[in-house]
Amino acid sequence: MLLGDVAHLRTGDKGETSQISVIAYDPADFALIARTVTTKRVAAHLAHLPIRTATRYELPALGALNFVLEGALAGGVTRSLALDAHGKTLGAQLLDLPLEDAA
């Protein structure tokens, strides 16, 4: 099972920081998401990025986690030479995170 099977996301970026909010489709799946989608696993899944710090905020009433990835956008969206290295692309990559490996 992949993260995208049980959750969708919203993203944003400011400067070189990307924010990815992972939101459970079904509130019953929030515990699984909270247990398996850790900052360590997110950083490892996006290891090709120059992430300096990854911070996770839990919003259980919304069934969501918000990840703030400082440095992920390599100097900022407008300064990066990478093609479409914005939050939406990073979020799409994160939806491919396997959940079985961490259970």
Give tens-digit pLDDT for 20-31: 999 999 999 999
Q: Mean pLDDT over all residues of the chain?
A: 87
Which among 88, 66, 87 has a CA at the least distance from the CA of 22? 66
| Domain CATH code at residue 18 | 3.30.70.260
- Domain boundaries, position 9: 3-102
**pLDDT value of position 14:** 85
Indicate if the pLDDT at residue 45 is higher than 80: yes
Q: How far is CA 40 from the centre of its chain?
A: 11
**pLDDT value of position 46:** 92
**pLDDT value of position 32:** 96
Which among 5, 17, 3 has a CA at the least distance from the CA of 85? 17
Which among 18, 19, 20, 21 has a CA at the least distance from the CA of 73? 18
**pLDDT value of position 1:** 94
Confidence label for 89 from pLDDT (cuts 50, 70 and 90): confident
Q: Provide the domain count of the chain.
A: 1
Indicate if the pLDDT at residue 87 is higher than 70: no
